[in-house]
Structure 1
Amino acid sequence: MTENFWQPTASAEALRHRARLLADIRRFFADRDVLEVEVPLLSRRATSDPHIESVTALCGGQPAYLATSPEFGLKRLLAAGVGDCYSLGRAFREGEAGGRHNPEFTMLEWYRVGWDDRKLMEEVGELLGRLLGTERMRSLSYRELFLQQLELDPHTVSDVELRDCAGREVELSFTPATRDECLDLLMSHRLEPAMGEGITLLYDFPASQAALARVVEDETGTAVARRFEAYASGMELANGYWELTDPEEQLRRFHADHSYRAAHKRHVYPFEERLVEALCAGMPECAGVALGVDRVLMLAGDYSRIDEVIAFPIDRA
């Protein structure tokens, strides 16, 4: 038996801070008449995202999956007419561990009916400013960030130039295989650490990184994903979309995710066809965002590791 592993890794003050933060979040949404709802944590369907792995369990002798986010359940409620709503609870992702990751973590996700990503960005900024106690905030496009820091347009730069830039700016022991891999490496290793203090809201991502966001043309005629991310002190906190409502396009993206996973020898999970059915029934125009609560707490309390804000991380669970 390992000595002292019965003890929590978070201090009593950190746990009190967590309780205050959760209460502040609920007060924020109560003041705006956004309904708190609960959706299943255990489902027969799993994420199709090529870069996220589900935690698998057995239920009734059949495979079931712990939710990587409450997204699918919330969207089904939107299609049923529930209106503005949010979920504040646990989410699970296989293989995520480290200073900023734990396989079990707290996620806040909310949806605003009739809003687009730009309007939701404003509310995300308001919430983060309140929770982090800062008024320092800036918004800029994905293109603007790359032009400012690297003097290249991520939407139009050639594959060769982009790969050369990644090789110059990031110490690599391998050659990135795709444009998106180069962009992700530059973002995580070069651009995020340079964001500095305050909140950064980054929008209009490459169309290839749309996930479940709409793709539209920007003012230059470039196809971009109407998606945004929120950062504070170089740490990614939130990821939001002007949500896709086209069932045919949603189904196409699910199949594309499965093809990618199969081609890269990753497990192919059963996808959530009930979301497609909900879109067919008519999910309203809306914007949604997911926010990592543990990371917000780390920044709010000046904690350096996620296990300082979680009572029992995976190695003590």
Structure 2
Amino acid sequence: MPDPPAFSSETDADSALEVTAAEVLDGDQTAADKINAPPKTNLAVRLKQRAEMLREIRRFFDDRGFIEVQPPCLSRDCVVDAFLDPIEVEASQVGLVSEPDSPAKFYLQTSPESAMKRLLAEGAPSIYAITPVFRKGETGTRHNVEFSMLEWYEVGGDAASAIKLLGDLAVEVLQSPPYKTVTYREAFEKHLGFDPIETPIVDLHALVDELDTSLAESIGLDRDALLDVLLSERIEPFFANDAPTILTRYPLTQAALAKPCQDDPQCAERFELFYRGVELANGYDELLDADELKKRYEHNNRIRLAHGRPALAVETTLLRAMRQGLPECSGVALGIDRLLMLRVDAHSIEEVVPFPTTRA
């Protein structure tokens, strides 16, 4: 994904860095850097901004009849994603080795999805959660190993109702113009002039090779990886505007946990929200077929092994819950910290997380 534009930070006079003229004249490079650095917003201001946004989000869902739940951060298994690495915790560190049915290890969750779907399978109504999640090795201006996620599930919902709910939330929280929707195929046809699903893979490879030869060589003929690069480098920059954009109907090969589209077997009911060039949310008309989920987990494990990552358990609590029966529902996961970054015009996630992992 391209780096975000350089946003201007809100400032507070008391937080401005003080540097003496003598320090600069003496050639103090650190002092000079301080002068050139953007002023930091007062901590109390940032804490208040975060609290206000969280209250707005809770009010948004409470007013629509959703119930807030608190899923566990630590669990015996996790969603099997091809590229997300959970943090493992040995059972001995948890102190449960002697307990019956204790697993050998636990996982800090990369998403509350498994626990929330287990609640739905047990009869919970529409629910939402605002919870810490953890992803190994993720750092940068938009990433932190621990971050806050908003996730919700609408019982009886589908892709259309989820997209509207997501768009309405984005407009309300960001105080933005009305949201827009565009299908994955429409975006590629408009900005690159071809159908991403039907175009020969060698043509996709050639386009990525024009951007980065070494990257194209490392990807090879992996269609979805090539499409990801083209989406990130050639299409997402067009989403860098003041209107939230929801990209819908991803290729079925990128369905993750979404259902296939009934009117187009080549696409899935998966969608993502972008704002000012930043990816904020990922959502699905949720897959209900447990056998299909197992196949997708096994496929993800093959990708993990091919990239030097360990395979993860496929027979999970989520798989058992889906066999028990998951109701028709839609689900969305949204990064709270990125949302706050955009709401207050912050440049880095460290500006809106009081204690990032690097100094937690």
Tell me the TM-score range normalised by the shorter chain. Answer: over 0.9
Aligned pair in 2 of structure 1 residues 34, 88: CA closer, same or farther (>3 Å)?
A: same
1:13 aligns with 45
Deviation per residue, 1:76-99 (Å, 9 max, x gap): 000111110011110000011000
- Structure 1 distance, partners of 2:224, 2:213, is 15
Aligned to 1:298: 341
From 287, 294, 306, the equivalent of 1:244 is 287
Distance apart, 1:11 and its partner CA: 2.5
TM (norm. structure 2) is 0.82
- Who is 1:99 aligned against? 141
How far is 1:287 from its partner? Answer: 0.4
The DSSP-based 3-state class of the residue aligned with 2:302 is helix
Distance 1:158 1:217 in 2: 24
Deviation digits for residues 168-200 of structure 1 (CA, Å, limit 9, x no counterpart): 3x2342322211111111111221122131100
Q: In structure 1, what is the Cα distance between the partners aligned to 2:155 and 2:195?
A: 33
Structure 2 residue corresponding to 1:196, chosen from 237, 240, 243? 240
% identity of equivalent residues: 42
Distance, in Å, in 1 between the alignment partners of 2:188 and 2:165 is 25
For the Cα contact (< 8 Å) 2:71–2:131, is it kept in 1?
no
SS state at 1:106 partner: strand
Secondary structure of the corresponding residue to residue 173 of structure 1: helix
Q: Larger % of strand: which?
A: 1
The aligned amino acid for 1:185 is V
Q: Could you tell me how far apart the structure 2 residues matched to 1:237 and 1:10 are?
A: 25
RMSD across aligned C-alpha pairs, in angstroms?
A: 1.6
CA distance in 1, matches of 2:291, 2:265: 23
Aligned residues of 2:111 and 2:149 also touching (Cα < 8 A): yes
Aligned equivalent of 1:144: 186
Q: Residue 9 of structure 1 contacts residue 310 of structure 1 at CA under 8 Å; is this kept in 2?
A: no
Give the partner amino acid of 1:101. H
Tell me, yes or no, if structure 1 residue 187 matches structure 2 residue 187. no
Counterpart of 1:157?
A: 199
Which structure ranks higher in relative contact order (CA pairs < 8 Å, sequence separation ≥ 6)? 1
- Report the equivalent of 1:277: 320
The SS at the match of 1:128 is helix
Q: Find the counterpart in structure 1 of residue 155 from structure 2.
A: 113
3-state DSSP of counterpart to 2:228: helix
How far 1:217 moved relative to its partner?
A: 4.8
Deviations 1:14-58 (A, max 9, x none): 111000001101110110110000111101112310110001123
Q: Which amino acid aligns with 2:63?
A: D
Is the CA contact (8 Å cut-off) linking 2:66 and 2:127 kept in structure 1? yes
Provide the rounded CA distance (Å) in 1 between the counterparts of 2:322 and 2:54: 31
Note if contact 1:10-1:310 (Cα within 8 Å) is conserved in structure 2: no
Aligned equivalent of 1:224:
267
Q: Does residue 1:205 correspond to 2:246, yes or no?
A: no
- Report the counterpart of residue 30 of structure 2 in structure 1: none
Letter in 2 for 1:241: Y
User: After alignment, is 8-17 or 103-112 more displaced?
Assistant: 8-17
Separation of aligned partners in 2, 1:285 and 1:204 = 18
Which of 64, 69, 89 is residue 32 of structure 1 equivalent to? 64
Q: Which has the larger radius of gyration?
A: 2
8 A contact 2:134–2:147 mirrored in 1: yes
Structure-1 separation of matches of 2:288 and 2:42: 41
Q: Conserved in 2, the CA contact under 8 Å of 1:205 and 1:226? A: yes
Alpha-carbon separation, structure 2, partners of 1:52 and 1:272:
18
2:245 alignment partner, SS class: strand
Whether the aligned pair in 2 keeps the contact of 1:86 and 1:110 (CA below 8 Å) is yes
